Amino acid sequence: MSHRAAMSLLDRSTRLPTADEITRINRTHLIDTPLRPADLLFLFGTREDVALRVDTAVGLWRAGYFRWSIVSGGVTPGSEQSECTIIKAAMVAAGVPADRILEEHRAMNTGENVIFSLPIIDAALGLQNVRSVICLGNTWTARRYPMTLHRHWPEVEKMLLTVDSFATPRERWHTDAEFRRRILHEWDKIESYKARGFIAEWPGR
């Protein structure tokens, strides 16, 4: 991304959204889907709210919502361990069997989460044997997780669960400066990423 494009994106993410845009974001971007037991939990790595992400995954495991999981995330600045290593260790400490958690240690963005994880899932389970996936990630990234997965793995059924630690209710995201910045930063990527073939429309219209 050029410096000018990066600055343009920054300018947009610090703007105040219109009432119509708030409505569209709440309706189409900030969605969780109904959950049912899935073959795989796809846990997208993070440096934000790690404990919350782990607690949510552990709760899903205890409730029988997935048979296998993959944790994807590389080494980020300031850490000597990959996001995968940190998150998996916490999941195992909380009771999720280590041999049920597949590992991906290189990804540095959402596209790489998917691209690098698919061969690992295929080698361990066979992609054809996985019929349903729950995507677990940050609220502000929202539907871009399953949209990225849908671009590279259209056949599998996708569900979405997102979490955050903001005290502000999700539907009031626009009243919190940092929550607003994060959501607009992700929202502004959607159409460009679709045009460039990074993501595919999901859910179906």
- pLDDT digits 0-9 by tens, 119-169: 999 999 999 999 999 999 999 999 999 999 999 999 999 999 999 999 999
Q: Is the pLDDT of residue 7 over 50?
A: no
Q: Over the stretch 54-85, which tens digit does the pLDDT of each residue have? A: 999 999 999 999 999 999 999 988 888 999 99
Statement: 36-162 belongs to CATH 3.40.50.620: yes
Closest CA to 118 of 156, 87, 92, 81: 156
Could you read off the pLDDT of 146-159 as tens digits, one per residue? 999 999 999 999 99
**Is 90 within 8 Å of 98 (Cβ atoms)?**
no
- DSSP output for 16-82: PPPHHHHHHIIIIIS-------EEEEEEE--SSSHHHHHHHHHHHHHTT-EEEEEEE--B-TT-SSB
Please report the pLDDT score of residue 41 as a whole number.
98
Q: Which of 158, 182, 159 is nearest to 170 (CA)?
A: 182
Residues paired with 12 in a beta bridge: none
**Residue 136 identity (one-letter amino acid):** L
Question: Three-state SS for 107?
Answer: coil
pTM to 2 decimal places: 0.90
The mean per-residue pLDDT over the stretch 172-194 comes to 95
pLDDT at 4: 53
First-to-final CA distance of the chain: 30
